[in-house]
Structure 1
Amino acid sequence: MKLYVVGTPIGNLQDITLRALEVLRSSDLIACEDKRRTGILLKTYNIKKPLLAYHDHNKKTMTPKILSMISKNKMVALVADAGMPGICDPGFYLIREAIRAGIEIVPIPGPSALVTGLVISGLPTDRFVFEGYLHRRRGRRRKQLTGLRNEKRSTVIYEAPSRIIRTLEDILEILGDRDVALVREMTKRFEEVVRGKVSEVIEELKQKKIRGELTLIIQGCDEK
Structure 2
Amino acid sequence: MSLALYGHPFASFVWKPLIALYERGLTFDFRMVDSDHPQNARRMAELSPTGQFPALVDGDRKVTQSNSIIEYLDLFHGDAPPMVPENAREALDARMIADVFDDYIHAQTQRIVGDALRGEDERDPRGVADAHILMERCYDWMEPRLHGQEWATCGGFTIADCAAAPALFYGDWVHPIPARCTALAAYRARLLSRPSVARVVEEARPYRPFFPLGAPERD
| Same fold per superposition (TM over 0.5) | no
How high is the TM-score relative to the length of structure 2?
A: 0.35
How high is the TM-score relative to the length of structure 1?
A: 0.34
Structure (1 or 2) with the larger CA radius of gyration: 1
Higher-helix-fraction structure:
2
